[in-house]
Structure 1
Amino acid sequence: MNRLAGLVLCGLCAAMGQDISPVPGVFDPKALKFGLPRPVQLPAVVDFVLPNGMRLLLIENRELPLVHGVALIRAGGLFDPPGEAGLAALTGMAMRSAGARGRSGEQLDQALEDLAASVESQAGDDYAQVSFSSPAGSAGKALEIFRDVITAPDFQQERIDLDKAALRDAIARRNGDLQELASRELSALVYGRESPHGQHVDAGSVARITRARVIAFHRRYYTPANVILAITGDFQPEELKAEIANLFSGWSHAGEALPAFPPVRQVPQPGIFLAAAKGHSRTTFSIGRLGGLRSDRDCAALELAAGILAGTGGARLSRRFRTHSSDSAVSAAWNPRHSYPGLFEISGATASGSTTQTLRAAQEELRKLQTTGVSAGELEYARQRVLHSFVFQFDTPPNTLRQVALYEYYGYPRDFISQYQKAVAAVTRADIARVAKQFLKPEDLTIVIAGSPETFGEPLNALGLPVSPAGFFVHAEASSAANATPPNAAPAAQLTTAPAAPLNTASAAQFTTVPAAPPNTAPAAQFTTAPAALPRSAAAAPLTAAPGALALELLHRVQEAVGGAEKLAAVKDYFQTCEFKMSTGAGGMTAKQTNRWAGPSYYRQESEMPIGKIAAYSDGTTGWLVTPQGKTGLPPALLKQIQGDLFRSFFQFLSSDRMPGRTVTSVAPGVIEISDGQSNSARLTIDEATGLPLKQTYTQLQPSGPPSTVEEVYGAWMAVSGIKVPSRITISQNGRKFADVTVTEHRINTGLSPKDLSKWP
């Protein structure tokens, strides 16, 4: 019996009143005692400076015949010139996608696939990185491609144009996420809208970036003395040092002296900033202030204070809302940065009528941290949660390598993690009260709200803070938002569902050895959820029904059969476990999967397969993939699958009459077809007797070869929070059975946050 099945069986036994107490003479798991986790033991690092000025860090690890590397470059969005926000990000994308040393991006893809290797590049706000992963036997050739991407990118215009289009699409989708907009506005207010830390990439700034500017940015910042290259794996350090020195010997561009990163000039903006969203049934909010550095003396205490306030489990705000049956989801985090002060942020959403009440609750709990303090149990729970989280930063050689490289990059001591563990272990209840009084004063906080003020139940000024307009506009008619969009402008494009299907990890052969599988090989996708939507009215998204209103009538019948349109629209997150078994003809493989989604488009899937554990995350536009071979950005083929599954996800699909731009038509008796005008479409066959969906049929692109016709047949319906969902799915591809999927657990509206889902495993 596998571990998951065992846990489910225990739960069933308990429910039936069975005695599952320990058998005499058999080990009692309750006798286990857990102390503090052991300090993280960092591996030995060999440090070199190459003749061209590049630093090289080597960590020998002979456990597996693999080699991983990451180059950190002192570049990033903080160096974007005024009016060209996105230049660093576009440069990081195009270095890999737009070819290098005479080979196109597609040719690089093929060469890496032949080596079972990967090379990825990207840029954040205060550093850029290029990484590689390869079997030890082909590491030499992979390193040559890695070098070319760093030192000799071609920046082909055609691919730069495609990357710019991808950025614009990401911006459009981002503008449909109210939580993202609220957090972005908070950042702009706290750091200053015109500061490098507060500015954000928009379509206008991307349009102004030319190929010449990308080339100039690369030449300015990508120089040998500006690079720290760290490598771990199966090699002999002295031999690899000589190989790297030889590989990069022709790269000696000195460049100009680099400026320091721009300092943060705090612009306190206490008060409430409201983006009115008339007709919205829920309010989204982001509350915060300037945070601090990871190296600050009080960082550990502040991280624990945030966890006590609104972390996981029994955190104060979560417990308070649960006790009062409040329809609120909230999280809090002290988000320190290594090179500049981060943000303290409380974010979440609540029913519109509870808006002022929810915000007042946050203020009251902050004051209680200062006055009544915290209990020993609360402190210890938060402490254990933080201490045990460190293991995930150092659980694999690539993760350990990245942390070592980051400490070197930021000038932190190599044993910083050990120092921070000790600091967390030493935090006292008095420390929590002290830092709360000093840093977490309710009257000093900036509050950003997107909601319908006429339904708040109590005016916002009852909170004792001035109320001003926010710097973004929410288009009520389409429930989408756009930064500084005038009321008469068209609503921004919106992608608002979670990736629907389990991830076809076989589509990236260079990352994993999973047998090739047809798309949508896991059912979890079919239970993704729709974000809050408008009540059905004349203001809803345009809908076409043909012939007549038959299509709309059929869709409404399905909505009522599964529990009602309003319940579908109220789902904000879900957690699901399932067992997946491929048919004998498809390989006979079995897998266990955990799928989590948080609105509007954050999705994470973790799979236990015969080859090991695989985890993937996406926000709908980007993401990452972790396999037994290492960690990488989400491959394009896999990202494309996720984006298609966003369209087909169960709750989202059934709410298509509320989704902007979707068209619903009746194509046969009991069959409707839904499309979005962007090449996505699927058919839903409806049970005439019950109104429940019988199956979903669609065409799925494959990593190679012609598209496939996929059919998913639903059965064994179960109720989850008043909504019927299928617990058994049979998947067929091109008329042949591919897999059976059984859902073992399904929960919705559990309070999952995007930040929880995006954490590296």
Structure 2
Amino acid sequence: MRALWMIALALLASLALGQGGVPADWPDPFKLQFQRLQPAAIQPTRAQLSNGVTVLLIEDRSLPFVTGRIYLRAGAIYEPADKVGLSGIFASVMRTGGAGNRTPDQIDEILETLAASVSVSTDNLFTSVAFNTLTENLDQVLEIWADVLIRPRFAQERLDLEKGRALEAIRRRNDQPTQIAVREFVRRINEGHPAGNVSSAASIQSITQADLQAFHQRFFKPNVAVLAITGDFSTQEMLARLERVLGGWARGEVSLPSFAPPSPKPGIYFVQKETNQSVIYMGNPTVTAYAPGYSELDLLSRVLGDGFNSRLFVEVRTKRGLAYATGGAQSQGFGWPGFFYGASISRVEKTAEVIELMLAQFRDLRERPVSQEELELFRNNILNAEVFRFTSRQAVAERIARTQMLGLPPDYYEQYVRQIQAATPADLQRVMQQFVRPEQFVIVVVGDRRQFDKPLSSLGNVIEVPLE
């Protein structure tokens, strides 16, 4: 926001110069200070249904809509080791495969007629089931949503369709160098942890209707679910509706497995691909999200690779024109460490030079403190973005639901902001030296070795990765 005002004032100043100069009483736009926006916190009403479902409710009568999303710990890391890819197929067929006494086509037709939606999505940790409807159709849509959540049919023809799509995606996943690089980097940096698992044709083909039913039976229990719901309703009436549609969902024990942290093997993982660009990823695991050191690493990653003023962009692209795109970040890890990394899509004939330049930026952040000016620039970028956490009441409710599911303290973000505000150049250097170790990096390179400026072996130990 401050940057926008500064630009506007600078433009006005330039116009005034064209008309005889800036008035003497005008302030210097680049020295103006503005108070940081403090969005008003929105707190949901908390309740618990008789079967243990935690419900977070925020009334919003501004529009005649109701939106809800329920979260369960049923993500990809909990798939059987020989069924990698199951959770994605599970989520798709859970929605498309019919539910309760309705066929797939009947559900699609009803929702289309009502201009409503029911959807299922999944990631490494969670599966969520959502709905969106006009208030006047709430009861009918809630019934369909509850059936999809509790009584999915997993129709065989829809399972076959999703397996076919997954197999086609596997067949085509080596077409794009960037897709290869991301897949191999995530696999190598999460070595030894299920977050690094990659599906295969064999794992997809082995998935059966019984596997989907078993996955649902294992993880979908009301007493471990959190529902975020917002919109045009009365809280007490909504709780009565939820009791009616979810009350028959039986409690049960859910035992989540524990996993050892990743143990990646450092090295240069090279994938030969005939292309006129090289895709490079490099980094190492660091800390879990919001653990000690995370805030400083997140700030450091902005200095390294977030935007036009970041070091990777300036040094690799702006000054030398060696990359089409470059950047970096600290990934979030919940239950296992995230990773601090940089990436570039570079000119293939400058591949080794780009790797060396990228490594130099990591080392420089370890060896020399960032300048106070650089620190303030990226600190303000983080702090000024806080307002976007409050884009809608549903976004707030869903974030609070995920926070509870992850076991984070309710004020985790406020703690993060305080740590960002307090960080000094010395703090950043200390954390960089503690957690980021270029000599132990996993480096993934996808490109055509015949066009490289010099062999990758001149930079370190090379492990060739065949395309599967």
**TM-score of the pair, normalised by structure 1:** 0.57
Q: Distance in 2 between matches of 1:17 and 1:377?
A: 29
SS at match of 1:349: strand
Instruction: Letter of the 1:284 partner, please give it.
Output: V
Q: Distance in 2 between matches of 1:17 and 1:467?
A: 60
Give the structure 2 partner of residue 384 of structure 1. Answer: 380
**Equivalent of 2:389, from 381, 393, 405?**
393
Measure how far apart 1:91 and its partner are.
1.2
Measure how far apart 1:20 and its partner are.
7.8
Q: How many residues align?
A: 459
Q: Distance in 1 between matches of 2:206 and 2:406?
A: 31
* CA deviation profile, 1:488-523 (whole Å, cap 9, x unmatched): xxxxxxxxxxxxxxxxxxxxxxxxxxxxxxxxxxxx
**Equivalent of 1:215, from 213, 216, 233?**
213
CA 459–250 in structure 1, closer or farther in 2 if over 3 Å, else same = same
CA 35–349 in structure 1, closer or farther in 2 if over 3 Å, else same = same
Give the structure 1 partner of residue 246 of structure 2. Answer: 248
Give the structure 1 partner of residue 104 of structure 2. Answer: 105
Instruction: Letter of the 1:425 partner, please give it.
Output: Q
**Equivalent of 1:340, from 301, 321, 336?**
336
CA 27–176 in structure 1, closer or farther in 2 if over 3 Å, else same = farther
Instruction: Letter of the 2:449 partner, please give it.
Output: P
Instruction: Letter of the 1:311 partner, please give it.
Output: D
Measure how far apart 1:137 and its partner are.
2.5
Give the structure 2 partner of residue 469 of structure 1. Answer: 464
Measure how far apart 1:36 and its partner are.
6.0
Q: Distance in 1 between matches of 2:22 and 2:66?
A: 48
Give the structure 2 partner of residue 306 of structure 1. Answer: 301
Give the structure 2 partner of residue 118 of structure 1. Answer: 117
Give the structure 2 partner of residue 236 of structure 1. Answer: 234
Q: Distance in 2 between matches of 1:34 and 1:143?
A: 49
Pick 1 or 2: higher relative contact order, CA cutoff 8 A, min separation 6: 2
**Equivalent of 1:266, from 262, 273, 291?**
262
The answer to whether the Cα contact below 8 Å between 1:39 and 1:421 also exists between their aligned partners in 2 is no
SS at match of 1:265: coil
Q: Distance in 2 between matches of 1:163 and 1:22?
A: 67
CA 326–97 in structure 1, closer or farther in 2 if over 3 Å, else same = same
Give the structure 2 partner of residue 95 of structure 1. Answer: 94
Q: Distance in 2 between matches of 1:111 and 1:444?
A: 55
The answer to whether the Cα contact below 8 Å between 1:69 and 1:231 also exists between their aligned partners in 2 is yes
**Equivalent of 1:204, from 192, 202, 205?**
202
Q: Distance in 2 between matches of 1:162 and 1:36?
A: 55
Measure how far apart 1:264 and its partner are.
3.7
Q: Distance in 2 between matches of 1:151 and 1:346?
A: 42
Instruction: Letter of the 2:309 partner, please give it.
Output: G
Judge which range, 230-239 or 314-323, deviates more.
230-239
CA 36–358 in structure 1, closer or farther in 2 if over 3 Å, else same = farther
Q: Distance in 1 between matches of 2:20 and 2:107?
A: 59
Measure how far apart 1:39 and its partner are.
4.2
1:614-693 matched pairs, under 5 angstroms: none
Give the structure 1 partner of residue 285 of structure 2. Answer: 290
SS at match of 2:196: coil
Aligned: 1:405 with 2:401: yes
**Equivalent of 1:456, from 445, 452, 456?**
452
The answer to whether the Cα contact below 8 Å between 1:197 and 1:264 also exists between their aligned partners in 2 is no
Instruction: Letter of the 1:231 partner, please give it.
Output: I
Measure how far apart 1:328 and its partner are.
4.3
Identity of aligned residues (%): 29
Q: Distance in 1 between matches of 2:390 and 2:203?
A: 37
Q: Distance in 2 between matches of 1:210 and 1:113?
A: 29
1:678-717 matched pairs, under 5 angstroms: none
Aligned: 1:329 with 2:325: yes
Unaligned runs of 5+ in 2: 1-6
Q: Distance in 2 between matches of 1:101 and 1:335?
A: 39
**Equivalent of 1:195, from 190, 193, 196?**
193
Measure how far apart 1:157 and its partner are.
0.9
Higher strand share: 1
Give the structure 1 partner of residue 358 of structure 2. Answer: 362
Measure how far apart 1:116 and its partner are.
2.5
* CA deviation profile, 1:512-541 (whole Å, cap 9, x unmatched): xxxxxxxxxxxxxxxxxxxxxxxxxxxxxx
Higher helix share: 2
SS at match of 1:197: helix
Measure how far apart 1:171 and its partner are.
2.9
Q: Distance in 1 between matches of 2:64 and 2:340?
A: 42
Q: Distance in 1 between matches of 2:62 and 2:412?
A: 25
Give the structure 2 partner of residue 71 of structure 1. Answer: 70
The answer to whether the Cα contact below 8 Å between 2:261 and 2:336 also exists between their aligned partners in 1 is no
* CA deviation profile, 1:128-147 (whole Å, cap 9, x unmatched): 00111122232222211111
Q: Distance in 2 between matches of 1:326 and 1:103?
A: 57
SS at match of 2:283: strand
Give the structure 2 partner of residue 353 of structure 1. Answer: 349
Q: Distance in 2 between matches of 1:238 and 1:374?
A: 54
Instruction: Letter of the 1:453 partner, please give it.
Output: R
Q: Distance in 2 between matches of 1:360 and 1:36?
A: 41
The answer to whether the Cα contact below 8 Å between 2:37 and 2:387 also exists between their aligned partners in 1 is no
Instruction: Letter of the 2:409 partner, please give it.
Output: P
**TM-score of the pair, normalised by structure 2:** 0.91
Measure how far apart 1:64 and its partner are.
2.7
1:151-190 matched pairs, under 5 angstroms: 151-190=150-189
The answer to whether the Cα contact below 8 Å between 1:37 and 1:388 also exists between their aligned partners in 2 is yes
Give the structure 2 partner of residue 682 of structure 1. Answer: none
SS at match of 2:77: helix
Q: Distance in 1 between matches of 2:344 and 2:321?
A: 16
Q: Distance in 2 between matches of 1:268 and 1:20?
A: 63
Q: Distance in 2 between matches of 1:307 and 1:453?
A: 31
CA 369–220 in structure 1, closer or farther in 2 if over 3 Å, else same = same
Q: Distance in 2 between matches of 1:317 and 1:213?
A: 45
1:354-753 matched pairs, under 5 angstroms: 354-463=350-459, 465-470=460-465, 472-473=466-467, 484=468
Q: Distance in 2 between matches of 1:319 and 1:313?
A: 7
The answer to whether the Cα contact below 8 Å between 2:193 and 2:262 also exists between their aligned partners in 1 is no
* CA deviation profile, 1:233-284 (whole Å, cap 9, x unmatched): 22221221122112111221x34x323343243313111111123x432211
SS at match of 2:74: coil
SS at match of 1:336: coil
SS at match of 1:380: helix
CA 207–333 in structure 1, closer or farther in 2 if over 3 Å, else same = same
Instruction: Letter of the 1:313 partner, please give it.
Output: F
CA 372–396 in structure 1, closer or farther in 2 if over 3 Å, else same = same
Instruction: Letter of the 2:275 partner, please give it.
Output: H
Unaligned runs of 5+ in 1: 1-6, 474-483, 485-761
Measure how far apart 1:104 and its partner are.
2.5
CA 201–294 in structure 1, closer or farther in 2 if over 3 Å, else same = same
Measure how far apart 1:22 and its partner are.
8.6
The answer to whether the Cα contact below 8 Å between 2:177 and 2:447 also exists between their aligned partners in 1 is no
